[in-house]
Amino acid sequence: MQRALAAIVLCGTIASGYDEPASERPSSERPALRRADDESLEPPSPYPRTVVARSLGRGLDWLAAAETRLGDGSWPVPTGTGALGAPVAVSSLATLALMAGGNLPGRGEHGERVTRGLDYILSRAVRDAADPRYGFVGGDGLSRMHGHGFATLTLAQGFAISPNAELGARLRDALHGAVDLIERTQGAEGGWMYEPRLEPDHEGSVTICLVSALRAARDAGLLVRSEVIARAEGYVRASQAESGLFRYTLGSDKTTLALTAAAVATLEATGSYDDPALVRGVDAITRALAAGTWPGQGEFPHYERFYLALALWGLREREPFEQWFTDELQRLVASQNEDGSWSDSRYGDAYATAINCLVLALPDGTLPIFQR
């Protein structure tokens, strides 16, 4: 999946000091779930919440139905000419989208689909401690460490909302191995590459994806080494170009709006809003939006849309996100298929639908990682 299924940055309200498990913090500091339909907790919105709910509901219904086609808890991926199938990454995103829509493992309209999705992800984890890939969640041949990052993120959210159930214990055990793999494969520059092993090369989208997974795991109560996070954040800052945009990798001339939004969201999660790199990144995004840039113009519209949503959502001011989301909602609804899905010829409709459902669910803040 490499650049196309690049790092989906899901940022939580995470304090500094990553070595302190969230379970040891006062309950008032831990993220809490709230009902997605509880509008009393939100100020008035400039966009029609009923339209958001209707479009999101149709997308989630399609995802739930699509999961039943294969019978193993995974979601279908395309197999034709030019298609790029990555079931681990796509199934992780689809499971995460269902949880973002208010479904818990075994609870909610699509709760059984969430449980099956988590079981599928768990089945892809390498459990043999003697295996050099111990802890790796993947094996689909395409998404590799991107898929591992998405899987770790999804497992962390499942554990955060169901820590005491039998499933929660299994999620915790898999998370320990998944986090350990990320920590021991970090390169000297602070980044990661595509394969689940220590490599001399590195790449920005993989790095951001794995940083997001570590943060989600830490906020769910897992022990994460603070120096790993610090080195990765240093890598992200070092990848910024003079324009304020962020590069595909250190030393590369290639910059993209999607990677810039992903990097901005990563830096926002540190709470350092006066960070010069963050300020310059936000300025670069603002200039792009003012020039009329929006998802659909680039090569990978779905993940770019999500990156922008996260970056704007993470700002201290609400107005930039609300203005952008109001316009983007019209494009999302117009491009939704009659059956509730969205289309993507390379990575499949499950991928596109999961990404766009996550965008629509973001303002509800149902998941801990969505809370500002």
Domains of the chain: 22-370 (1.50.10.20)
Specify the range with the lowest mean pLDDT, choosing from 25-39, 270-284, 356-370: 25-39
Instruction: Please give the Cα distance from 70 to 273 (Å, whole number).
Output: 45
Instruction: Please give the Cα distance from 225 to 256 (Å, whole number).
Output: 30
What would the pLDDT profile of 251-310 be if each residue is shown by its tens digit?
888 998 999 999 999 888 877 788 999 999 999 999 998 888 665 556 778 989 998 999
Q: Is the pLDDT of residue 39 over 80?
A: no
Write down the pLDDT at residue 46: 78
Q: Is the pLDDT of residue 170 over 80?
A: yes
Write down the pLDDT at residue 296: 53
Specify the range with the lowest mean pLDDT, choosing from 98-102, 171-175, 242-246, 270-274: 270-274
Count the neighbouring beta carbons within 10 Å of the beta carbon of residue 310. 27
Residue 37 confidence class, pLDDT cut points 50, 70, 90: very low
Q: Is the pLDDT of residue 214 over 70?
A: yes
Write down the pLDDT at residue 293: 66
H or E segment and range at residue 247: strand 246-247
Instruction: Please give the Cα distance from 126 to 178 (Å, whole number).
Output: 9
Please state, rounded to an integer, the average pLDDT across all residues of the chain. 86
Instruction: Give the predicted TM-score (pTM) of the model.
Output: 0.87
Q: Is the pLDDT of residue 19 over 50?
A: no
Residue partners of 103: CB distance under 8 A and separation at least 6? 60, 109, 110, 111, 113, 114
Write down the pLDDT at residue 14: 31
Q: Is the pLDDT of residue 52 over 60?
A: yes
Write down the pLDDT at residue 79: 81
Mean pLDDT of 343-350: 92
What would the pLDDT profile of 293-310 be if each residue is shown by its tens digit?
665 556 778 989 998 999
Write down the pLDDT at residue 274: 85
Q: Is the pLDDT of residue 53 over 60?
A: yes
Q: Is the pLDDT of residue 116 over 90?
A: yes
Write down the pLDDT at residue 90: 97
Instruction: Please give the Cα distance from 235 to 116 (Å, whole number).
Output: 36
| CA angle centred on 142, ends 11 and 86, rounded to 5° | 70
Q: Is the pLDDT of residue 20 over 60?
A: no
Instruction: Output Rg (C-alpha) for the chain, integer angstroms.
Output: 19
More confidently predicted of 40 and 245: 245
More confidently predicted of 147 and 301: 147
Q: Is the pLDDT of residue 132 over 50?
A: yes
Instruction: Please give the Cα distance from 326 to 54 (Å, whole number).
Output: 15
Q: Which of 51-60, 204-213, 340-349 has the highest mean pLDDT?
A: 51-60
Contacts of 241-249 with C-beta under 8 Å, sequence gap 24+, read 243/284, 244/280, 244/281, 244/283, 244/284, 244/287, 245/281, 245/284, 246/204, 246/281, 247/204, 248/3, 248/203, 248/204, 248/205, 249/191, 249/202, 249/203, 249/204
Instruction: Please give the Cα distance from 315 to 319 (Å, whole number).
Output: 9
Specify the range with the lowest mean pLDDT, choosing from 3-7, 69-73, 236-240, 259-263: 3-7
Write down the pLDDT at residue 297: 57
